[in-house]
Structure 1
Amino acid sequence: MSETETTRTTTCVIAGGGPAGAMLGLMLARAGVDVTLLEKHADFLRDFRGDTIHPSTLQVLDELGLAEAFHRLPHHKAYTFTAMTDRGEVRLADLRKLPGKYRYIAFVPQWEFLNMITAEARKYPNFHLLMNAPVTDLVRRDGAIRGVRYRGEDGQEHEIRAELTVAADGRGSDVRRAAGLEPKEFGAPMDVVWFRLPREAGDPDDPFLRLSAGYIMVAINRTTYWQLAYVIPKGGFGKLRARGAGELRRTVKGLLPFLDGRVSGLRDFDEVGVLQVAVNRLSRWHLPGLLFIGDAAHAMSPIFGVGINLAVHDAVAAANIVGPALLRGEAPEELLARVRRRRWAPTMITQAVQRVVQRLVIGRALKGRRAPAPPDVSRLPVISGLARRFIGLGVLPEHVRLPLSKTGSQHVDR
C-alpha cells in the first residue's frame, strides 16, 4: 500500500470490520491482494452481537487452518435446540446427525472471533487494518467508485484509492448511504431486548426458546451466564421501559421460573441492549468499483441466528469470485454481479423462512394469541433433516477456493 500524508492507495478497501469485512480481508490478504480494512470503532468490544458460529462457518475456518485457534477461544457448543411452550417441550433441531466434521453451533463472543480473524490477517504484510476510521464519503472517478474518504484518529479527513471498494459496514451502512442506495424493507413485528443473568449448576445446557401467548424469550448458555433475548412488539421498548425494570423481572420469572432467585440482578434498563429488528435487502449489490456484502446488502432477522454466517459466506464467495482478478489489479463489474447472483438465493430463501416464522409464530404470540406449536421434528424425519441442514449448513454453504499464494504466505511478526 503506497501513501502520502492524506492519501493511500491499495487494491481493495473494505469498510466495516465485522464478520464479513474481516473474513474478506483475511482471504484476500492470504492470496496476495493488497487490502485495507477500515473499522470505525477503536476496538471490536461490543456486546449482544451475533455470536453463533454454525457448522458451515466452522468448516470455512477449518479450510483456512484456523479451526484449532478458534476452538481455543472461550466457547460453548450447542448440539440441540428446543422450544418450551405452555403445553410442553418440543425438539426443534438436533445437529448431531449433520454430515461433516462439525455437528454443533459454537457460541463465541463476537469480539473474540473478530480479534482472531484480524490477528491472523495481520500476519500478512499486504493487510492493513485502520481502527477509529469511519467512512465519510466515496471517491468517484470516471463513472466508478475508486475508494473512500474517512476520518482518521487525528480528526482529519483522509482518502484511500482502490480498484475495488467493499461495503461490509452493517445494516446502517455509511457506504450505502453515500452511494445513494436504499434497501427494500420487508418489515418485522418485533424488536429484541438483550440482557444477562447468572447461570448456575443444574440449569439447562442447550439454548432454548420459551414461547407463550403474549411472550417470547430465547435463552443462550454462555457457560457462566445466560444471554437472554426478550422479544417485544416492534417499537415497544419505550412502553417496556416506562413500566419499569420490576415488570421485566416479573416477566422473566414467570417465563423462566428457574431464574427466580437471580432476576434481582436486573436492576435497571442501563443493563440491557436493544436490537431494532429489520429484514431488508438491496436489489442491486454493486456499482462499478463497489460491492455490498453482509448486512450492508441484506439485514437479517435474528431468527435462527444465521446473520453472521450469511455474512461470512458472502465474504467467502466474494473472495473466490473477485480475488483472482484483484491479483491482476482488476475488479470487473461482471464479477461483482456474479457475487450477487451467487448469494441471492441463500439470502432470499433465508429471509423468506424468517418472515414466515415472524408472521405465523412471533407475530401471533406477541398479539397474545396462541401461536401454533412448533412440530417435534424428532418424530418427523424429513422435517428434522431439513431443519438440521437449514440451521447448521444454510442454503448454500461456501468453501474456500482462493488459494494461499507464495506472496501471501510470507507471514510477518507484528
Structure 2
Amino acid sequence: MGKNTTVAVVGGGPAGMVLGLLLARAGIEVTVLEKHANFLRDFRGDTVHASTLALLDDLGLGERFAALPQRRLDRVAAQLDGGLVQIADMSRLPGAHKHVALVPQWDFLDLLADAAADEASFTLIRNADVTGLLRDGDRTTGVRFTDRVTGQEHELTAALTVACDGRHSAVRAAAGLRPRGFGVPMDVWWFRLPRRADDVDGGLGRFTAGHFCVLIDRGDYWQCAYMIRKGSDKALRAKGIGELRRRMVALVPWLGDRVDALESWDDVKLLDVRLDRLRRWSRDGLLLIGDAAHAMSPVGGVGINLAVADAVAAARILAPELRRDGTASTTALRRVQLRRWWPTALVQGGQRLAHRAVLGKALNGDPQVTPPSTGTLPLPIRVARRFPVLQGIPARLVAIGPLPERAPAWARRPEAPGRGTTSGGDSVRSA
C-alpha cells in the first residue's frame, strides 16, 4: 500500500517530534513514523534543558510544559572521597530558565505530538517499523515500513527522508552508512531504587576509585546510573545481583536500607555506551540528525539537547526550499551538517577527554571506597569553590550547550490561554 508526503521523519523521539512540529508549522506536509504504539517506555534521558525550555516558550508551549509533573534541577553536586562539592550553579545561567527540568520523556513527547496534531499538514503514524529505503538511482525517495499490528507492508514516498531513529538507526543501516567510532571505556547499568522523603534533593554524582554512580531524583524513586568497565557486564552478572547491591552500599551507604529492591538482574538494564559520528550526514533526499548522525556518551547528559538543536537548525535551513520547491537540495542538507558539526565535535571532544583522563583510569581500578576525608580536591574543583562564579561555566555547557538554537519566526506562537499554568513543578537542589 502506497502513501506519499513531502518529508518523512523516521523516529518519534525528541528530535523527530520537534522537527515534525516545526515543519508542520511552516505548512510543509510532514509524516513522522514511530515504531511503537505510544511513548510509554523506560527512557534513559528524561532531561529537558534550559535551551529546550526557551524553545518551548518560543513555540507557545512553555506554560503547558510547566504544568507537567516534574522536578527541577538548579545545582549539581558530586560526592568525592574528599567531601561533597558543588560543581555547577544554574542560577547563573542567562535567560528565564535557570534549571534543567526532569520530566518523564513520554509526557514531553505527548506534549509535542498534541501540539503538532493541531497543524493540518502533520501526520503521526504509530506502530510503523521502517525496514528499508525507497530509491530512484542514488536518490532516496522514501521508506518502506511494516505495520506492527497488522503486519501489512507499506511504502511512503517523500521528497526528503530524515532519520531521527537513534544510535541503532535502521535508516542509517539501510543507506549503508557507517559512523566513525571513538572508543569508550564504560557501559552503564540503569536501574531504580526507592527514594525516601528525607533523602537529599536533586541530582548527585558519587565518584571514587573504581566506582562511578549518578543518582537522579525522580520524586518517589532514584534513577541510578552505575558505570562499569566496557564489556564487563556478563562477567559481573555471573556473580549475582548481590554484587551490585554490595557495590551500591559501599559507594552510597545511606542507600543500604533499600538495595534489596533490586530483586534480580531483570531490574537492571545495560546501556551499551557508544560515541561515534558520521563523516557525512546526508545524501540526495536523505538527512540524518541526532543520535543517528552522532551517538553521544552519557557524560554531561547532553545528547537530547544536541538532538533537539539539530532538529531546530534543520527546520530553519530546509523549510524555505521545501515550501518553495517541494524538495531540499543537497547543498541545503550539507548546510545542516555544517551548522551542527562543530558543536557536536566540541562536545564529543570533551567527552573523549573525560573518558581518557578520568573514567578510563578509574574504572580500571578495583572498586573500593575510601572513607570520606579532608584530602585534597582536584584543582578545578578547588578553584570553582574559591570563585563560585566559575560554577556557571559547567552549568551553561550542560543546560544550554555551545550553540543553542531558537525557533524561527514562522514557527513561533503565543501561549494559548487556559492551556497550562506556570505553577507546575518542584524546584530541587542537589545536596
Name the TM-score class by shorter chain. over 0.9
Counterpart CA distance in 2 for 1:216 and 1:278 is 17
Distance in 2, Cα, partners of 1:366 & 1:405: 46
147-156 or 228-237, which moves further after superposition?
Answer: 147-156
1:314 and 2:313 correspond: no
Contact in 2 for aligned 1:15/1:135 (Cα 8 Å): yes
d(CA) in 1 for partners of 2:403 and 2:187?
28
Q: Distance in 2 between matches of 1:136 and 1:229?
A: 32
What is the aligned counterpart of 1:136 among 118, 131, 151? 131
Q: Which whole-Å CA distance do the structure 2 matches of 1:295 and 1:336 have between them?
A: 17
Q: Is the 8 A contact 1:32 1:405 kept in 2?
A: no
Secondary structure of the corresponding residue to residue 341 of structure 1: helix
The separation in 2 between residues aligned to 1:383 and 1:96, in whole angstroms, is 12
CA pair 224-384 structure 1, distance change in 2 beyond 3 A: same
- 2:256 aligned counterpart, secondary structure: helix
Q: Which residue of 2 aligns with 1:412?
A: none
Picking from 392, 396, 410, the partner of 1:403 is 410
For the residue of structure 2 that corresponds to 1:149, the secondary structure is strand
Q: 1:150 — aligned with what?
A: 145
2:98 maps to 1:103: yes
Q: Which amino acid aligns with 1:403?
A: W
Q: CA deviation at 1:386?
A: 2.4
> Of 287, 290, 293, which residue of structure 2 is paired with 1:291?
287
1:1-80 pair list within 5 angstroms: 6-80=1-75
Contact 2:82 2:377 (C-alpha < 8 Å) held by counterparts = no
1:351 to 348, 353, 357: 348
Map 1:233-252 → 2, pairs under 5 A: 233-252=229-248
2:81 counterpart (81, 86, 97): 86
Shift in Å, 1:124: 1.4
Code of the residue aligned with 1:33 in structure 2: it is I
Q: CA offset at residue 380 of structure 1? A: 3.9
- Residues 266, 90 of structure 1: alpha-carbon distance in 2 compared, 3 angstrom cutoff: same
Q: Is the 8 A contact 1:360 1:372 kept in 2?
A: no
Can you list the C-alpha shifts for 1:34-88, whole angstroms capped at 9, x where unaligned?
0000011222122142111110111111111111111111110001111101111
| Aligned partner (choices 388, 392, 414) of residue 385 of structure 1 | 392
Q: Is the 8 A contact 2:14 2:109 kept in 1?
A: yes
- 1:339 corresponds to: 336
Separation in 2, partners of 1:83, 1:116: 33
TM-score (norm. length: structure 2):
0.90
Aligned partners of 1:319 and 1:402 also within 8 Å: no
Which residue is 2:401 aligned to?
A: 394
Structure 2 gaps of 5+ residues are 371-375, 417-431
Change in CA separation of 1:242 and 1:170 when aligned onto 2, cut-off 3 Å: same
- Does 1:224 pair with 2:231? no
Query: What SS does structure 2 have at the residue aligned with 1:191?
Result: strand
The AA in structure 2 aligned to 1:273 is K
Measure the CA separation in 2 of the matches of 1:48 and 1:16: 14
Mapping of residues 145-294 of structure 1, within 5 Å: 145-152=140-147, 153-294=149-290
Q: Deviations over 1:324-345 (max 9, x none)?
A: 2111212111110000000001
The letter of the residue matching 1:394 is: G
1:213-258 Cα deviation digits (max 9, x unpaired)? 1111000000111001110011111122111111111111111111
Cα drift, residue 404 of structure 1: 3.7
Picking from 378, 381, 404, the partner of 1:375 is: 381
Report the residue type matching 1:317 in the other structure. Answer: A
Partner of 1:119: helix, strand, or coil?
A: helix
Tell me which amino acid in the other structure corresponds to 2:386: R
Instruction: Give, in whole Å, the separation in 1 of the partners of 2:362 and 2:231.
Output: 16
- Say if 1:48 and 1:273, in contact at 8 Å, map to a contact too: no
Q: Distance in 2 between matches of 1:23 and 1:269?
A: 35
Could you tell me how far 1:402 is from its partner in structure 2?
Answer: 5.0
Offset at residue 182 of structure 1 (A): 0.2
Measure how far apart 1:134 and its partner are: 1.1
The yes-or-no answer on 1:363 pairing with 2:360 is yes
Hey, which bits of structure 1, 4+ residues long, moved more than 3 A?
369-374, 380-383
Partner SS state of residue 36, structure 2 = coil
The letter for the 2-side match of 1:345 is: W
The alpha carbon displacement at 1:156 in A equals 2.1
CA, structure 1 residues 404+210, in 2 after alignment: closer, same or farther (shift >3 Å)? closer
How many residues are paired up? 402
Give the whole-Å Cα distance in 2 for the aligned partners of 1:368 and 1:382.
34
**Alpha-carbon deviation of 1:405?**
9.2
SS at match of 1:204: coil
Structure 1 segments unaligned to the other structure (5+ residues):
1-5, 410-414
Q: Cα 1:268–1:172, aligned 2, differ >3 Å: closer, same or farther?
A: same
- 1:326 alignment counterpart: 322
In 1, Cα distance between equivalents of 2:240 and 2:377: 30
Q: Report 1 or 2 for greater relative contact order, CA contacts < 8 Å, sequence distance ≥ 6.
A: 2
Asked if structure 1 preserves the Cα contact closer than 8 Å seen for 2:166 and 2:292, the reply is: yes
